[in-house]
């Protein structure tokens, strides 16, 4: 599970750490899907494959972020949480890579950083203190089995009426 908390990296950017955990009962693994920087995403509008989004950590209000710092354990690209109250910068934008037209809750998805093209990934590297046992989340240049993600829990909005009409309306 994509996880974060108000613990900063001791190297690299010094920004809020982002890790991977297996525990299902930790509220620090909740993220809000939002439109990309300086764009509005109406609640209830499905996310299209290929669309840019931001993921905002519910507990701290910081956005999933990446930049050209080396990650602390693997030396891949660092992934952090950045900004205040959901506002950050263009390095918070990620493209949803999926099959089909829309991101479907039950399907696996990849997130590709829009500025540096790395894929949001988790491998086996684990931290020691103060986040013992949590796995390093980082950006990898190649798509592979380490960068598939799936929605596990959350609050899901029903598609908007305009979207439903677009999908099911047929002219005579």
Kindly report the CATH number assigned to the domain that includes residue 133. 2.80.10.50
What is the chain's pLDDT, residue by residue, as a tens digit (172 residues)?
999 999 999 899 999 999 999 998 899 999 999 999 888 778 888 899 999 999 999 999 999 999 999 999 999 999 999 999 999 999 999 999 999 999 988 899 999 999 999 999 999 999 988 889 999 999 999 999 999 999 988 777 766 665 555 554 444 4
The residue segments making up the domain with residue 41 are 2-170
* Domain count for the chain: 1
CB neighbour class for 115 (10 Å; exposed up to 12, middle 13-18, buried from 19): middle
Question: Which DSSP string corresponds to 32-74?
Answer: EEEPPTT----TTPPPBTT-EEEEEETTT-PEEEEEEEE-TTT
Q: What is the DSSP letter of 87?
A: B
pTM assigned to the model: 0.89
């Amino acid at each position: 599970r994509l996880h974060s908390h108000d613990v900063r990296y001791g190297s690299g950017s010094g920004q809020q750490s982002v890790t991977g955990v297996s525990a299902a009962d930790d509220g620090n693994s909740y993220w809000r899907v939002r439109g990309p920087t300086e764009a509005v995403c109406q609640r209830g509008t499905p996310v299209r494959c290929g669309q840019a989004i931001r993921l905002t950590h519910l507990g701290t209000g910081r956005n999933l972020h990446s930049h050209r710092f080396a990650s602390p354990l693997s030396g891949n690209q660092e992934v952090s949480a950045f900004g205040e109250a959901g506002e950050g910068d263009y390095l918070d934008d990620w493209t949803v890579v999926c099959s089909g037209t829309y991101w479907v809750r039950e399907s696996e998805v990849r997130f590709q950083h829009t500025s540096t093209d790395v894929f949001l990934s988790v491998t086996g590297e684990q931290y020691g203190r103060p986040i013992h046992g949590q796995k390093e989340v980082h950006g990898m240049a190649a798509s592979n089995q380490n960068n598939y993600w799936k929605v596990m829990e959350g609050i899901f909005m029903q598609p908007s009426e305009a979207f439903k009409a677009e999908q099911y309306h047929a002219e005579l």
